[in-house]
Chains A and B, each alone.
Chain A
Amino acid sequence: MVPCPCCKKHIPDSMDTRMTNPKVAVLSGKGGTGKTLLAVNLAEVAGRSLYLDCDVEEPNGHLFFRPAELETQAIQVKIPQIDADLCDGCKICVDFCKFNALAFAGSKWILFEEICHSCGGCTLVCPQHALSERDKTIGQVQNGISEQVCVYSGFLNPGEASGIPIIKKLLAETRTADTAVIIDCPPGSACIVMESIKDADYCLLVAEPTIFGAHNLQMVHELVTLFHKPCGVVLNKCQAGDNPSERYCVEHDLPIVGRIDFDPVLGRLNSDGKIAARVSGTYNQRFSVIWQTILEETQLETAINS
């Protein structure tokens, strides 16, 4: 227990929760750096925890956790539908749509569902009130239990414009969570990643030891800086010789909270869908050390920001 930095006496409940139960987002500028490896194994060593797979275009954390007691919930968005009898072909809705999801040709109103971003604007601007909204399923959220980890995975149906409604649903789970939360983010630094890190207390950036890896690290570092998120780096696949990502960390004063060596044993465990920290004592210890470092970092940040 750390005493409250301002009054030195008590710790407000909310703050205490934040210190011991941080929401940690795991992200990287490209795919394949080890986001899921880190996120899954950290959730495993965190004790009771909540793991959210926000990589909704290709969620794979569930392949490691194999959660039981599965529950599934369909996620829907609103898309427009037309009452052709009311439409007078003014095309105000077509001009309004910034995504070009609508067209009007040969006295026919056309909606391109996969381009529609569900903003609802067309139904508002229609002077004839010919447009209304209907539900469209874009994917699902699945949840289950894997030992001490509560596993939530988002699945976006192929071809859909945006997984953000699914991520919002996943993040809603964190509001009532009384455990540590690990958010496995999509790769890159686009809006879907911004949505995933919005509620995070701490961002963990996973980086490969290559020039390309360092460039991708820079992208996500700039993103989390923009969001004023405290962050640290795990250098993955470390080998002897120069590590451009490590150089980037040193040059930019970025804390390195862990290093994982390039290890065929770990690679094989991962390829077999095994959770290294669950089946290997060595790796359990290694990921526990990283998790402890992250906890210390988040407590430090809480103290600084109070």
Chain B
Amino acid sequence: MKVAMPVNGQSMQDEVCESFGRAPFFLFYDTESEVPNFVDNVAAKSRGGAGIQAAQSLVDAAADVLLTPRCGENAAEVLAAANVAVYKTEGRSIEANLEAFGNGSLPLLQETHPGFHGHQND
């Protein structure tokens, strides 16, 4: 299973990013091989619709699951269309969240927020 997560840096010691669409990097973690792969978030610098573009990149990368503190409603619509399950992270630790997800203790993300149409660096 391919797990995606918005992160602030390119190591497992970095933190989960508070933002989904404008996170600097995404971690793709393969739960079978346990190999982490950090990639630049192409949407981070987009002028608007960053969440949509970030969600598209996750879909294109064939992510099965997204772990994130927050998610906009437009991004959620794209992820839902591709059956990407979205779970809510707890705390900032990447490893703790991966472990919690593995244990089945992360909740599904229930609430999505409206988009900001580029007016806020979300």
Contacts and interface: CB of A to CB of B under 8 A. Distances in A.
Interface string B55-69: 110011000000000
Interface string B78-92: 110111000000000
B81 A94 contact: no
Nearest to B60: A91
B117 A112 contact: no
Contact of B49 (A101, A104, A105, A106): A101
Contacts of B81: 103, 105-106, 108, 110
A100 B79 CA distance: 15
B105 interface: no
Contacts of B82: 105-106
Contacts of A94: 56
Interface residues of A, number: 16
Contacts, number: 51
B48 A105 contact: no
A190 B60 CA distance: 35
A99 B56 contact: no
B45 to A, nearest CB: 12
Contact of A105 (B55, B115, B117): B55
B117 A100 contact: no
B77 interface: yes
A114 B50 CA distance: 14
Interface in A140-164: 161
A100 B22 CA distance: 13
A24 B59 CA distance: 51
B52 interface: yes
A103 B50 CA distance: 12
A115 interface: yes
Nearest to A100: B49
A60 to B, nearest CB: 22
A100 B53 contact: yes
Contacts of B59: 103-106
Pairs of residues from A and B, 3 with the lowest C-beta to C-beta distance, nearest first: A100-B49, A105-B82, A105-B81
Given A103-B78, A105-B81, 11 more contacts: A94-B56, A98-B47, A99-B49, A100-B48, A100-B50, A101-B49, A105-B59, A106-B82, A108-B81, A114-B117, A115-B117
Interface of A: 91, 94, 98-101, 103-106, 108, 110, 112, 114-115, 161
